[in-house]
Amino acid sequence: MDYLLRHPNMTMISRLLFGPFRPSIEALRPVLYRIAYAWCHDAALADDLVQDTLSKAWARRAQLRDEASLKAWMVSIMNHCWLDHLRSRRDFDDVEAWEDILESGAESPEACCNREQVIACVRLAVSRLPLGQRQVLTLVDLEEFGYAEVARILDIPVGTVMSRLSRARASLKSLLEPAAQQSAAQPLLRRVK
Amino acid sequence: MNSVVSDETLHAFVDGELDVSESEKLIAQMRDEKELAQRVCGIRSLQSMVRLAYAEPPVASGRKRHAASGRVVMQRCAFGCLVLLAGLSGGWALRGLESNAVVAAPSTFPGGYQTVSLGRVADPNRVMLHLDSADPGRMEAALDRAEQLLDEADRQGRTIQLEVVTNSHGINLMRAGVSPHAARIARMTQRHANLHLVACSQTIARFTGQGQKVELLPAAKVAPTAIGEIVTRLQQGWTYVRV
């Protein structure tokens, strides 16, 4: 009985003292920033999102049950920050800027072979995906989260994760066809002769 | 042929979501159907393009940093407070250990010296004596205490490890040409191979910086810091006695 009474207390104290300390939360900043940027394609906004996420994670650190899932937990917090942000401002004033780049990229798809342009083209294509697809795609491709983890993070069924991913990759493929063909063609060259 | 394997399945395969048998089946199928292999290849190259695109996301310009700075300061303050709290509670916890240990092993350490150990019971066979003062009485007391513990262990047939750790002015005990007990220490270390003398190298550096030449007795060894040595020994289960 004594042990039972004492045990949860000790865990609580050790969690408080040694739990997800600021450094381990801070260490995820680059990871979060990459995801945030892939979601919103705006460096300043991504920075704000990450900052928001870090302070919220710190404030709610007691809620984290399993420290192994720290990253997924923080990404799900960031998802909420992102959705809050979208709700608070429904106008996307940056869309026009993106359309400019879109056109400049679309005019010369063959130029996509150069590294910087591939990067610009892919970012552009990703930014044009519907938000839900964009989130699933970036979490799976950039951070290699499992489907079940993505489902938990975004609070959607696994089936939805799979269908969104499938649609996202299909649209990316059609948007990036020239560049994708170029890189996909390489291993096939041997067969063609 | 395309319709046989759905896009979803191929994506799951590429993302490592299929189980081993499903994956193996698909790999076998890919050997026969080049088109299938090509589709997988296409997904992989898309994936690597996405990774490349966000490998180095552009960094936000300085303008937003200012907005966050107030919050950052608050957070740092909060963190500072937490560290302080942790220190205070750590001290409080150690205080508890100290009194526990005294209760646990009053007979081993007579003479009113308080002991600290992280174990439930103070280990009488691994003891460090900490001296941080050049007070002649305390220097002598440290050596008396060491000799007493060593002799007692010898009499009882126990193997004891004893370490005398010095820092600050306590280091004078181990300085060649300064120590008033050089001869006694030499005698003691000759008699007891299990007696170790450790001086804090930070203290040595500080004394050297003040223009004093610090030479240690041949028996004395150096630890990076006395506090580090003490903490390490405590974690290893040693008992700490401050002289």
For B54-105, the pLDDT digits (tens) are 988 888 765 444 444 445 555 555 655 566 666 565 555 555 444 444 333 4
pLDDT band at A19; cut points 50, 70, 90? low
Which ipTM did the prediction report?
Answer: 0.71
Instruction: Output the domain CATH number for residue A57.
Output: 1.10.1740.10
Q: Does A115 touch chain B (CB under 8 A)?
A: yes
With a cut of 50, which residues of chain B have pLDDT below it? Answer: 1-3, 63-70, 96-108
Domain limits for position A141: 95-181
- Which structure tokens are listed for B143? 């050596």
**Quick check: is A189 in a domain?**
no
**Residues A74 and A102 both lie in one domain:** no
Residue A5 located in a structural domain: no
User: Residues A73, A122: one domain?
Assistant: no
User: pTM for this one?
Assistant: 0.48
Pair (A146, A73) in one structural domain: no
Structural domains of chain A, count: 2
Please indicate, yes or no, whether residues A173 and A107 belong to a single structural domain of this protein. yes
Write out chain B residues lying below 8 Å of A37, CB-based. 54, 57-58
Mean pLDDT in residue range A170-192 = 61
- Domain stops at, among A69, A88, A107: A88
* Statement to judge: residues A37 and A107 lie in one domain: no
Q: Answer for the pair A34, A142: CB distance below 8 angstroms, yes or no.
A: yes
What is the pLDDT averaged over residues A110-121?
70
From chain B, the residues in CB contact with A183 under 8 A are: 45, 48-49
> Higher model confidence: residue A5 or residue A21?
A21
CB-based contact A17 B63, cutoff 8 Å: no
CA distance B203 to B59: 44
A109 and A146 fall within a common domain: yes
A76 within some domain: yes
- List, in order, residues 6 or more apart from B15 with CB less than 8 Å away: A140, A144, A146, A147, A165
What gap in Å lies between CA A132 and CA A54, rounded to an integer? Answer: 23
Q: B105-242 falls under which CATH superfamily?
A: DsrEFH-like (3.40.1260.10)
The answer to whether the CB of B142 falls within 8 A of the CB of B174 is: no
Q: Are residues A143 and A177 in the same domain?
A: yes
Angstrom CA distances, B54 to A153, B15, B135, B216, stand at 20, 18, 64, 58
Does any domain span residue A7? no
Residue predicted with more confidence, B240 or A1: B240
The pLDDT score that the predictor gives to residue B61 is 67
What are the residues whose beta carbons fall under 8 Å from the beta carbon of B223, sequence distance 6 or more?
B165, B198, B199, B200, B201, B229
Claim to verify: residue A64 and residue A114 sit in the same structural domain: no
Query: What number of residues does chain A have?
Result: 193
Euclidean distance between CA atoms A172 and A165, whole angstroms: 10
* Residue A162 touches partner B, C-beta closer than 8 Å: yes
Q: Does B35 touch chain A (CB under 8 A)?
A: no
Give me the residues of B, 51-70, that contact A with CB < 8 A.
51-54, 57-61, 63-65, 67-68
d(CA A190, CA A112): 23
Side chain identity at residue B101, one-letter code: A
Q: Where in chain B is the domain with CATH 3.40.1260.10?
A: 105-242
| Distance, CA of A65 to chain centre | 22
The amino acid present at A122, given as its one-letter code, is V
